[in-house]
Amino acid sequence: MLDNAWIIPAIPAVSFFLILFFGKRIPTKGAAIGITALGTSFVLSCVAVYQWIDRVESATGGKSSGLAAFGRSLVTHGAETKPVVEPVLHHVTWWSNAGIDFGVGIRMDGLAVMMLFVVTLISLLVHIYSTAYLHNDIRYTHYYAMLSLFSAAMLTLVVADNTLQLMVGWEGVGLCSFALIGHWWEEGANSKAALKAFMTTRTGDIGLLIGVSVLFWAARSFDIGKINAYSLSPRADHGMLLVAASCLMLAIIGKSGQFPLHTWLPDAMAGPTPVSALIHAATMVVAGVYLGARLYPVFWNGFSIGNGGVNFMVLIGGITIIIGALLAFVQDDIKKVLAYSTISQLGYMVMALGAGAWVAAVFHLFTHAFFKALLFLGAGSVSHSGSHHSFDMKKDMGGLRKFMPITFWTFIVGTLALAGIFPFAGFWSKDEILVTAGQSGYDFFLIVGLVGAFLTAAYMTRCVYLTFFGEYRGHGHPHESEPVITVPLIILAVFAVLAGFLNAAAFHIEKFATWVEPRVAFPELVHPAFDYPKAAISLSMAAIGIGVAAFFFFKREKMGKLNGLTERNKVAHAGYMFLVNKYYLDALYENVIVASIRGPIARGCYWVNQHVVDAVVNGAGKGAKATGQWTYDYLDRKVVDGAVNGTAEVTAESGGLLRYFQAGRVQRYALYMFAAVGLLALLLLIANI
Amino acid sequence: MPFVLSTMVAQTVVFWIIAVAMVAAAIGVVRSQNVVHAALYLVVVLAGAAAQYILLVAEFVAWVQVLIYIGAIVILFLFGIMLTRAPMRPDGPLDNDQRFAAGVVSLFLFGVLTALLVDAYGDAPQIHPKASMVLKGSPTAIASSMFRNYLVPFEVVSMLLLAALVGAVVIARRD
Amino acid sequence: MTLNNFLILSAFLFCTGLYGTLARRNAVLVLMSIELMLNAVNLNLVAFSAFRENVTGQVFSLFIITIAAAEVGVGLAIVLLIYRNSRSVDLDQADQLKG
């Protein structure tokens, strides 16, 4: 399957067309096609994972198998000897011109198979979940068609071996995100949110386009392997790579919801909850992080990550962690809490990449996919069966743990994993980020990460409290959801618990790193050992966060003066309003930037168009007409016609003159003839004497 | 030498007498106001030409000249004059209004030709009619030359005569 | 007799005949003047034949006589036709080709 991994994106693509054309006519309205397709893709992805693990193990001398012949070579890196495992590459050239090759291909290495596994698993679970969540929905079939198309595009992006194919997948997931967010477009707010998501990510896509072009000019190729090799070679142009890395960073900011283009993610919660789980938690938003991980040597060289010190990537990631976490405190909508939480966690991943913690970032991507999808699907379950399709925690939820035990316990598992509590998955991945940041010289960001951990634990506790504890404030009849919803929750909870152990550094398990970290065209990174003191500090930060928040909520009556602080105190209230208005960023974007473009700038452009451009065009037209008129009057009538008429007149006049010689009398002609003969004879005589 | 001299002088004298007669008759052809007189003057010219041919030891040509020209062509002319003279109509002046210009052109051409001839043949030797020339001008010699060297022109001229005969009949007949 | 005697005589006859063709009104007189010109040419040829002692000149003069005869025949036929059509052989009145 490693060699034929192109089948994995192809199956959902085929299912997209099948659902589109035949979905409405079959009994399950297209869901069966989608589930079958994703199921098959998931199975094939598992095969690919197995094959890759096999490949790595046989090369490194672990449990070997029949694939031992591949990639066996020993490369000395400093004091370590690390066997090189080549990725599996297949490429089909569509057309090539002047040395530039355009084609599609697959680049199967650890990162790709990991992503395949994650994307197909979560997509499959979302497909199954949606049969209940969107039961009797008015656009059920189209929903499944777009889910299949999204899966196909994401998988294309994941297996891509050249930046152009990656860009195709990138744009495809952007389009599907737009379509799925605006699934219930009858509500104006939903279609606005879809447009906002699309436009904001599009702003980032400018960066992607320019970045890919600059990389092509630098490395003379679109192939990812060649680009990475170029970036690490001595002849790499640092300036160009800096430009390329900055442009690609813009793309990551747009797609992965980093500050300042994070504003679309919360609004994207207008879409159906399974969509939020799939796209805006586990897969699409991590496409940016995936880009950073795939083309890491470009960033490594461009941002000089290996030299320590603040660079653009780590700075943006750090800022995003904090602002996302702070905003999650003031949300009443459970999905928005999770959305800001996603922004914050993506900030962790980007910060990790910027600090040189590649394995940590990718591992966090891996674990985050599971527990965030779990949290979103849990919120969906709450809305579906608990709060009568509402997401407002303050108004419609509360005390649901009595009514929805499975949802409650899986949500708790997800929260603990997110908060980073031992031994859940989030602990291992977040901890590795913090440790690597601390040891690579990015001390400030270690502190940022710790603060973020505190905040994460706190806001998630608030969320859990408001949803599951206290008295039920809603109007519906809460009950547990059907198995189609709860079984995926349980599956994801299992992963949320166990996934972390793949790279449990405390137990010296580094399987994830071994399998996933690239060994070809990859810089030499720092791999710190498990640091017990730092782990203890982060664990305690998370515990303190939970404790403070729990105390605040559970023992509200003991808070006394702190209760209602934000309503009484002006400074606190200002801070609260600042957060509620999302740092006034939306106001900045919409009322300042967009309005100014829409208003004055557009009017100015229109004026230029009417008075300058049109003036030039009209002037050209008038000039042409005047020239034509002048040409007609002078050249045509006077000169040309004059010549023609003059010739005719001369001919007539001369004819009139010559007419006198035509007397009609033959003897007259004979006279002329002989006179001429005589003259000629005379001339001959004179000439010859 | 005296024989030669005397024959030379005799031939020159004869030549001059005939030349003067020819010149006068020629002028009479073109200046006479009577058509018949002009035809008769033409006879004089033609006869003079025949005499000159005899002086140049070309008897056959002289005989043919008399036979054809004077004997047939002039008769034809007289017939033509007869058939085209309107009865009882006075002859108007027989010269048109360009006779001065014609005279000028003719004199001019005569002058040019004379100058040319004097310049070219001014110092050419005399023509001595010899006994050998008689043989050369005999019908035998002419016939052998014509039927050996100039047979094709002879045949062509025969065709021409036929064409002229047929043409004249076609043109002139009343239909 | 010098050659030039004959040649100048023939030149005179030719120019006289030329004057006649240009200046005469009667068509028959024009034909007669043409005969004068032809005779001048004949005289030229025979003179040269005697001068060069070559019989070719006489042969050609015979041809010219023949052709002259044919030409007079056809010419007079045409003149008769003109006379029949316009009752006159005055060439001044035959100016239908006037431009």
Residue at A210 is within a domain: no
Q: Say which residues have a Cβ less than 8 Å from residue A386's Cβ, sequence separation at least 6.
A: A397, A400, A403, A404, A407, A474, A476, A478, A479
CB proximity B15 to C under 8 Å? yes
Residue at A260 is within a domain: no
Residue at A617 is within a domain: yes
Whole-angstrom Cα distance, residue A220 to residue A213? 10
pLDDT of A305 reads 81
A465: three-class secondary structure by DSSP: helix
pLDDT of B75 reads 95
Nearest Cα residue in chain B from A689: B119
- C21 with A662: Cβ contact below 8 A: no
Peptide bond between residue A600 and the one before it cis (omega within 30 degrees of 0): no
pLDDT of A109 reads 87
Q: Sort out which chain B residues have CB atoms less than 8 A from C85's CB and list them.
A: none
| Number of Cβ atoms within 10 Å of the Cβ of B119 | 11
Residue at C51 is within a domain: yes
Residue at A203 is within a domain: no
Nearest to C66 among B110, B142, B157 (CB): B157
Residue at B70 is within a domain: yes
Q: How far apart are the first and last CA of chain A?
A: 113
* Residue position matching structure tokens 């596994």: A117
Whole-angstrom Cα distance, residue A104 to residue A164? 8
Strand partners, A103: A93
Same domain (yes/no): A418, A513:
yes
Residue at A436 is within a domain: yes
Residue at C92 is within a domain: no
Q: Sort out which chain B residues have CB atoms less than 8 A from C88's CB and list them.
A: 86
Distance from the C13 Cα atom to the nearest Cα atom in chain B, whole angstroms: 7
CB A266 within 8 A of CB A334: no
Mean pLDDT highest for which of A43-57, A563-577, C31-45, C79-93? C31-45
Residue at A115 is within a domain: no
Same domain (yes/no): A377, A508:
yes
Distance from the C20 Cα atom to the nearest Cα atom in chain A, whole angstroms: 10
Longest dimension (CA), chain B: 68
Residue at C15 is within a domain: yes
| Substitution target from B94, B98, B105, B113 for chain A, most A beta carbons within 10 A | B105
Residue at B109 is within a domain: no
Whole-angstrom Cα distance, residue A106 to residue A118? 17
Q: If you compute the radius of gyration of chain A from its CA atoms, what whole number of angstroms results?
A: 37
CA distances (Å), origin A298, targets A239, A243, B68: 11, 10, 123
- C1 with B105: Cβ contact below 8 A: no
| Complex ipTM value | 0.91
Q: Say which residues have a Cβ less than 8 Å from residue A578's Cβ, sequence separation at least 6.
A: A584
Q: Sort out which chain B residues have CB atoms less than 8 A from C42's CB and list them.
A: 49, 61, 65
Whole-angstrom Cα distance, residue A582 to residue A324? 10
CA distances (Å), origin C21, targets A65, A347, C29, C67: 130, 125, 8, 18
Q: 3-state SS of chain B?
A: CHHHHHHHHHHHHHHHHHHHHHHHHHHHHHHCCCHHHHHHHHHHHHHHHHHHHHHCCCHHHHHHHHHHHHHHHHHHHHHHHHHHCCCCCCCCCCECCCHHHHHHHHHHHHHHHHHHHHHHHCCCCECCCCHHHHHHCCHHHHHHHHHHCCHHHHHHHHHHHHHHHHHHHHHHCCC
pLDDT of A77 reads 34
Whole-angstrom Cα distance, residue B5 to residue A33? 145
The total number of structural domains that make up chain A? 2
Residue at C76 is within a domain: yes
Q: What CATH number does the domain containing C49 carry?
A: 1.10.287.3510
| Substitution target from C21, C33, C39, C87 for chain B, most B beta carbons within 10 A | C39
Residue at B41 is within a domain: yes
Whole-angstrom Cα distance, residue A348 to residue A594? 30
- The per-residue DSSP string of A260-277 comes to TS-THHHHGGGS-HHHHH
CB A200 within 8 A of CB A263: yes
Whole-angstrom Cα distance, residue B69 to residue B50? 10
pLDDT higher than threshold 70 for residue B44: yes
pLDDT along chain A (689 residues), means of 10: 86 93 84 91 92 82 42 34 76 84 89 92 94 88 93 94 93 93 90 90 92 91 89 86 92 90 89 90 88 91 80 90 88 90 93 88 92 92 84 80 88 90 84 81 84 89 86 80 88 88 72 77 74 79 81 66 64 75 74 76 82 84 89 82 86 82 81 92 85
Q: Which of residues 67-126 of B touch C (CB under 8 A)?
A: 68-69, 72-73, 76-77, 79-81, 83-84, 86, 92-99, 101-103, 105-107, 109-110, 113-114, 117-118, 121-122, 124, 126
Q: What CATH number does the domain containing B24 carry?
A: 1.20.120.1200
- C94 with A665: Cβ contact below 8 A: yes
CA distances (Å), origin A397, targets A31, A268, B23: 30, 22, 155
Same domain (yes/no): B79, B154:
no
Higher pLDDT, A639 or C57: C57
- Report the candidate in A538, A424, A408 with the shortest Cα–Cα distance to residue A465: A408
- Report the candidate in A144, A206, A142, A126 with the shortest Cα–Cα distance to residue A174: A206
- A665 with C99: Cβ contact below 8 A: no
Task: Kindly report, residue by residue over B121-136, the tens digit of the pLDDT.
Answer: 888 777 777 777 777 7
| Domain's final residue, options B85, B111, B127 | B85
Same domain (yes/no): B78, B148:
no
DSSP 8-state secondary structure symbol assigned to residue A81: E
Exposed/middle/buried for residue A451 (C-beta within 10 Å: 0-12, 13-18, 19+): middle
Nearest Cα residue in chain A from B109: A678
Residue at B152 is within a domain: yes
Higher pLDDT, A157 or C96: A157
The total number of structural domains that make up chain C? 1
Nearest Cα residue in chain B from C24: B95
Touching A (3+ Cβ pairs <8 A), the chains are: B, C
CB proximity A663 to C under 8 Å? yes
Which pTM value belongs to this model? 0.63
Q: Sort out which chain C residues have CB atoms less than 8 A from A667's CB and list them.
A: 21-24, 30, 91
Structural domain of C78: 3-87
Nearest to A659 among C23, C94, C99 (CB): C99
Whole-angstrom Cα distance, residue A665 to residue C93? 8
pLDDT of A564 reads 63
Same domain (yes/no): B6, B74:
yes
The total number of structural domains that make up chain B? 2
A205: three-class secondary structure by DSSP: helix
pLDDT of A236 reads 83
- C74 with B64: Cβ contact below 8 A: no
Residue at B94 is within a domain: no
| Number of Cβ atoms within 10 Å of the Cβ of A103 | 16
Structural domain of A651: 606-661
Higher pLDDT, B106 or B1: B106
Same domain (yes/no): B71, B146:
no
Residue at C81 is within a domain: yes
Q: How far apart are the first and last CA of chain C?
A: 50
Nearest Cα residue in chain C from B172: C77
Distance from the A675 Cα atom to the nearest Cα atom in chain C, whole angstroms: 11
Structural domain of B153: 138-175
pLDDT of A72 reads 35
pLDDT higher than threshold 50 for residue B96: yes
Touching C (3+ Cβ pairs <8 A), the chains are: A, B
Half-sphere CA count of B18, side-chain side, radius 13 A: 23
CB proximity A680 to B under 8 Å? no
